[in-house]
Amino acid sequence: MNKITPIILSGGSGSRLWPISRQHNPKQFLDFFGETTLFSKAILRTKSKEFFHSPVAVCNNEHRFIVAEEFKKSKIEPLSIILEPVARNTASAIAVACLEVVEKNAKNPKSDKSDLVLVMPSDHLIKNETKFIAQVNKAKELAMKDYLITFGIVANYPETGYGYIKSGELIDKKNKIFAVEKFVEKPKKELAKKFIESKNYFWNSGIFLFSAKNYLKNLHQLSPDVFNHCVRSYGNSVKDLDFIRLDQIEFEKSTNISIDYAVMEKAKKVAVMPIDVGWSDIGSWQAIADLSEKNHENNTLIGDVISIESKNCYINAKHGLIGAIGVENLIIVSLKDALLVANKNNSQDVKKLFEELKNQKRSEVDFHTKVLRPWGSFETLDLGERFKVKRISVNPNCSLSLQMHQHRSEHWIVVKGTAHVYCVNKEFILHENESTYIPVGKKHRLENKGKTVLEIIEIQTGNYLGEDDIIRFKDNYGR
């Protein structure tokens, strides 16, 4: 049997799902439905060793430790985790992943030599995964005949937020796979209605099946600029811990272009397999609301919410109490540092708000008050002029970097666990309810050698308290 190597793409920022989705912790790493993250769902979809090889993940450099932790939690060993130094869209991301599959096959004499790859975004939801995998396996035979196959979602309403694929000639009668006649950009409402009525237009899922070598061949012919820079970037890559770091100079030169524009719209042997598997790209708060459980007033109420005479609302209280009286058709999401109130009909416009916040250089675009780190996390509890208060959690057998700050001093108070501290050429231990002072400009390090999580309260004081005021001398995580 020709197994498939999954390629999991994790480059999105999830801007339409602000304020829960942020640039340093976007939607694919979040749990919207009380189960597992979308990224975990994507990799668990490929857990069958009968059908799949180990997956290749392509992600933003900033998300590398989150991705590694997601694989660890899912108990799935990746073939590789490839780090993009900059975002260059799907054509380049898929190219470097295909280069990795081809090289690993060449180096492994025991490989079945199948270079079929299944490309999946990590931030989509598929409810009927068993049916989806069955459809993928039906498409393998055609993919081995050098077809580039895309999966079109059977459209049941005139969505204007998706691109469409128009099917042409039936080329595989048994498995109902069609030649692609054309790709269509996101249409206006009236045109989308005509697409639905015609029965031969499908939503563009962004999921693909093809031979890695065939994709690279087509990319070389149709978008040689992308191909050449990706080959050089991959060729100059270096192994860093469990990650593959691409050469930044070459990767930056690659055109920022999607696989649709670079290859699929130009190639000759392109096919679409229509599938109906409960797919959603989770592209807006409206999509989240549609997929969430509702009460008798068609409201989704999550967290500490009291609703009176309100209808058709999605209200998510991540922080504090929300009281809603006599409102309809609203999205309301509260966090410690941000509150979103939007009409459901304008849920796609959250991206505009995100871009405005980005233009204003607001920190709420990048981070939550709780920020994940490879050693644990920190959460900002209070912030004022010349001071900041944090709760820092350090996982067992983990350590912060040996570092120094130029603009701030710190006070550490241990509230749980035992801290091993290095500061000003001294090493010592702090137990619960003990504290220490870290002067400005002095090398220091915090380590947890225990078996339980270490928690400290850190009080920073100084004229600049930004997270970039760190000079690292030694770091276990290659930062």
Instruction: Decide if pLDDT at 477 tops 90.
Output: no
Q: How far apart are CA 177 and CA 185, in angstroms?
A: 22
Flag whether pLDDT at 35 surpasses 80: no
Q: Tell me what the pLDDT averaged over the chain comes to.
A: 93
pLDDT, position 369:
85
CA angle 28, 448, 422 (to 5 degrees): 120
- Does 479 map to a domain? no
The type of residue at 417 is G
**Does some domain include residue 365?**
no
CA atoms within 13 A on the CB side of 295: 15
Strands 444-448 and 419-423: antiparallel
Identify whether the C-beta of residue 149 lies closer than 8 Å to the C-beta of residue 272: yes
Tell me, what's the pLDDT at 56? 97
CB 351 within 8 A of CB 339: no
User: What angle do helix axes 89-107 and 212-222 make, rounded to 10 degrees?
Assistant: 130
Reported as a pLDDT band with limits 50, 70 and 90, residue 181 is very high
Burial of 263 (0-12, 13-18, 19+ CB in 10 A): buried
- φ, ψ of residue 233 in degrees (nearest 5): -65, -45
Specify the CATH number for the domain of residue 89: 3.90.550.10
Are 197 and 327 contained in the same domain? no
Name the β-bridge partners of 314: 300, 331
Residue 225 tokens read as 């600029």
State the CB neighbour count (10 A cutoff) for residue 97. Answer: 28
Question: For the chain, what percent of residues have pLDDT higher than 90?
Answer: 81
Alpha helices, H only, 254-309? 259, 285-291
**C-alpha R_g of the chain:** 25
From the list 206, 232, 228, 198, the residue with the least C-alpha distance to 216 is: 228
* Bigger pLDDT: 146 vs 111: 146
Q: In 188-279, which ranges are continuous DSSP H helix?
A: 189-198, 212-222, 224-235, 248-253, 259
Pair 70, 195 in one domain: yes
Examine the domain organization and report whether 47 and 194 are in the same domain: yes
Q: Measured in Å, how far apart are the chain's first and last C-alpha atoms?
A: 41
Structure tokens given for 6: 């999954």
Angle between helices 89-107 and 224-235 (to 10 degrees): 50
Q: How many domains does the chain have?
A: 3
Structural domain includes residue 458: yes
Percent of the chain with pLDDT over 70: 99
Are both 276 and 291 inside the same structural domain? no
Q: pLDDT value at position 370?
A: 86
User: What backbone torsions phi and psi does residue 474 show, to the nearest 5 degrees?
Assistant: -140, 140
**Domain assignment of residue 108, yes or no:** yes
Whether residue 436 sits in one domain with residue 339: no
Tokens 């749990």 found at? 31
pLDDT tens digits, 88-141: 999 999 999 999 999 998 887 666 668 999 999 999 999 999 999 999 999 999
- Cβ contacts of 190 within 8 Å, gap of 6 or more: none
Mind listing the pLDDT tens digit for each residue in 201-258?
A: 999 999 999 999 999 999 999 999 999 999 999 999 999 878 999 999 999 999 999 9
Per-residue pLDDT tens over the stretch 208-223: 999 999 999 999 999 9
Q: Would you say 226 and 91 are in contact if contact means Cβ atoms under 8 Å apart?
A: yes
Sort strands 314-325 and 300-308 into parallel, antiparallel or unpaired: parallel
Q: Residue 352's domain spans which residues?
A: 287-359
Task: Order across the sheet with 300-308: list the strands.
Answer: 300-308, 314-325, 330-334, 339-343
| Residue indicated by tokens 């031969």 | 200
Separation CA 350–CA 427 (nearest Å): 49
Rounded Cα gap, residues 365 and 368, in angstroms: 8
CB 306 within 8 Å of CB 149: no
Check whether residue 377 and residue 355 sit in a common domain. no
> 445 and 316 in one domain?
no
Stretch 430-455: mean pLDDT: 96
Residues 104 and 191 in one domain: yes
pLDDT for the residue numbered 111:
66
64 in the same domain as 15? yes
145 vs 141: CA distance, rounded Å: 7
Confidence grade of residue 264 (pLDDT, cut at 50, 70, 90):
very high
Q: Count of CB atoms within 10 A of residue 102's CB?
A: 17
Instruction: Give the residue from 359, 382, 411 where a domain finishes.
Output: 359
pLDDT at residue number 110: 67
